[in-house]
Amino acid sequence: MNAERPPVPVAVLDACDQEPIHLAGSIQPGGFLLAVDEADGRVVQASENAGDCLGRALSAVLGATPGELFGAETEARVRELSRDARFARGATFVGRWARGGSGDERVFALLGHRHAGRLILEGERLCAGEAAAPVEAHEQIEVLLGQMETPRTVDELLAFAARELRGLTGFDRVLVYRFDADWHGRVVAEDRNDALPSYLDLHFPASDIPRQARELYRLNRLRLIADASYEPVPIRAAPGRAEAPLDLSLATLRSVSPVHREYMRNMGTGASFSISLMRDGELWGLVSCHNAAPRRVPFAVRAACALFTQALSLQLAVREQAEGLAQRMRLQAILTPVVAGLARHERLLEGIDAVREHLLRLVGADGAAVIEDDRVASYGCAPDERRVRELARWLDSRGEEELLATHQLAAEFPEAAGYAAEVSGLLALSISPRRRSRVIWFRREVVETVTWGGDPAKPLAADAAGPARLHPRKSFERWRELLRGRARPWSAAEIETAREFRVAVVDIVLRGAERLAQLSEELSRTNRELENFSYTVSHDLRAPFRHIRGYAELLKSDKGHLLDAEGLQFLEYVLEGSRHAGRLVDNILAFSRMGRAALVFTTVALDELVPEAIRFLKADPGTRRIEWVVGPLPKVEGDQSMLLRVVHNLLENAVKFTGPRELARIEVWAEETPTEHVVHVRDNGVGFDPRYKDKLFGMFQRLHDWEEFSGAGIGLASVRRVVARHGGRVWADGRPDGGATFSFSLPKTPSPSHPLYA
């Protein structure tokens, strides 16, 4: 553990955050820059090396038109592009320009953009062999975009991106760097050779990329520094003209801060190339490419990298949205019975007490407190009443704030530091200021060890040119810090669910349940219509499939002798397909009936139900050797026929997936909790990859090939639906070739769910 660091003065941090790096006043060498006045079309500012690059005196460049410098065709192209909206968003390829003579031919790629009343033209010197770069880059990017569509987890997608971008750029190390809510960054993917050390999973403080630098990354998605030791080329104005500093926010060749170049040299990086990853117009992270030696990246390759990372940003957004939607759906399934429970009570505390089992699960909290008038009720891991009232007074002092979410409570309310281990996260709702009603959720402290890329505190030292300034650290060795006083952050889905909960409380508890009852009726009607549609469609499909199978069988029996072997094989495919489709329709019908049928609750003896299901399975002819191990099973409350289907489907599933075993072993046993009966079915079969266990209970979801294990992919979905209608839950554990355990719970106090949510 490292000693506590002295704080850096706020004024110094503010100065760092306000450094006008977009007004650098200079460019990187390797090209030239011209600023053309849109009003008169003449060059009013130019980089000091522009004359040398263009083969004329700098004084002859200043005041000239693009046509005089590059020809009428280029000037027409610039005029055309200047009217294009893309010209205002960043560097656009204008064309190539060659300066010849005396065996010293120089070829430049001309790039242009419009910004702050100026047309900015930049010329990048092209090296030999770069003429083919656009074609090669285009071909590569087409292949990569196709590969990106292959389903991957977020981590796999980022690792793929790091690997392929290193292949495109040829850099020694490519990092994918993600920002957190406080703008600290973490390296979440990496690909490298041995020239530079690994930074994977290292954290970097927000001060490494200060606010104004992040804003430039947002505006200008590409940033190349071909040589960290370059000498900046100053920008000069035309004689006699008083020009404001040129805004280079969108310029490709903009010079970077001396502090940043010092940072690169301290890191052992001779060149860097950064590409912004965006999400909803905001900076999500960076792809940061590093090379030990100086290295250029041609514009065509940079453009290909930009296209690739745009696609990557979209893929990340889709995956994160899918994850957020899945979490929203899980929380909505909890919110529904909570809202229904609240609707039956007029007072907040009474309603909350009735749904207390779901209250913490609603937002993933460890504890909660409810305040109504002068009464306080606590649930789970919550502070004592004195501290809850203290928190309520602090929340009142913040004004009419409907919702507050923080995962570092002590940072906002220092008095909470004394009980940070118990409460570090807080999500508070104001229900009714007049009645002083609040709901507050709590999360415990999560002590975390963060590994930084070097000591994140930057040294403060005197600068020969002025007052003390921050200097980048010289060491990037792993530096570990223990972070306390923090809880797991509240997700957007959890916060949105809390908002919906507040709306429900206000509408139901304080304003009556009329609107919700109407909504429930509409949802029920919609559900019945969907059920009827599903039932009708699947029912009406049975006859066509029977006809297909019947006529195919007639064709085989009456005309089969006229067909050759290949024709008979095709006919067999038709028969097998129609049989499979018929079974699938039957299964869909059965699944639909489960949602339509009313539940008839009785006391069900599972110790009688399970043997009955086993006898049915044994009646199926075969030579399988199966060892059945059945432990004591309880009596539960539920619909007997529906629960028999659950047990049968789980046991049939176990029999099917132990098929490759010489001796199959299937165990059934139960456990009891204060509120539930839990039943387990374990087998020694082929198992499954635990990464995909959440897919098992979805309709038509299969983790094994149909040819290997037949089935329609509806059995486990049926199990989930029946158990959910009983107010229970289902889950599974397993590993490849290591067997599987399927479990379901039934509440001791029946609370059948509405079929809409089952």
Q: What is the pLDDT of residues 469-508, one digit of tens each?
A: 445 555 565 666 667 888 889 988 899 999 988 888 877 6
Asked which of 246-255, 394-403, 487-496, 668-677 is least confident by mean pLDDT, the reply is: 394-403
pLDDT (mean) for 90-115: 78
pLDDT band at 74 (very low <50, low <70, confident <90, very high): confident
Residues of the chain by 3-state class (helix, strand, coil), percent to 5: 45, 25, 35
Q: Rounded to whole angstroms, how far apart are CA atoms 48 and 37?
A: 18
pLDDT digits (tens, 9 = 90+) for 193-245: 999 999 888 888 888 888 888 888 888 888 999 999 999 999 999 887 777 88
pLDDT band at 258 (very low <50, low <70, confident <90, very high): confident
- What's at 323, amino acid-wise? E
pLDDT digits (tens, 9 = 90+) for 554-591: 777 777 777 788 877 877 767 766 665 665 555 555 55
C-alpha torsion sign, points 532, 538, 543, 587: negative
Angle at 643 between CA 641 and CA 644, to 5 degrees: 65
Supply the pLDDT for residue 6: 38
% residues pLDDT > 90 (the chain): 25
Q: Rounded to whole angstroms, how far apart are CA atoms 380 and 681?
A: 31
Q: Rounded to whole angstroms, how far apart are CA atoms 658 and 667?
A: 12
Angle at 743 between CA 740 and CA 746, to 5 degrees: 175
* Domains of the chain with CATH codes: 10-320 (3.30.450.40), 343-447+485-512 (3.30.450.270), 597-758 (3.30.565.10)
Report residue 594 as tokens: 């489960």
pLDDT band at 518 (very low <50, low <70, confident <90, very high): low
- Number of CB atoms found within 10 A of residue 486's CB: 20
Pairing of strands 664-672, 626-630: parallel
Supply the pLDDT for residue 159: 92
Q: Rounded to whole angstroms, how far apart are CA atoms 64 and 52?
A: 15
Asked which of 73-82, 324-333, 524-533, 612-621 is least confident by mean pLDDT, the reply is: 524-533
- What's at 133, amino acid-wise? A
**Inter-residue contact 393 to 368 (CB < 8 Å):** no
733 pairs with which residues across the strands? 741
Supply the pLDDT for residue 519: 57
Q: What is the mean pLDDT of the chain?
A: 79
Output the 3-class SS for 277-297. EEECCEEEEEEEEEECCCCCC
Q: Which residue has the tokens 């994918």?
A: 176
pLDDT digits (tens, 9 = 90+) for 531-550: 555 555 555 555 676 767 77
pLDDT (mean) for 719-725: 86
More confident residue, 11 or 496: 496
Count of residues making up the chain: 758
pLDDT digits (tens, 9 = 90+) for 286-303: 999 999 999 988 888 888
DSSP track, 159-193: HHHHHHHHHHH--SEEEEEEE-TTS-EEEEEEEE-
pLDDT (mean) for 299-312: 86
Q: Answer whether residue 109 shows pLDDT above 50.
A: yes
285 pairs with which residues across the strands? 178, 277
**Inter-residue contact 306 to 92 (CB < 8 Å):** no
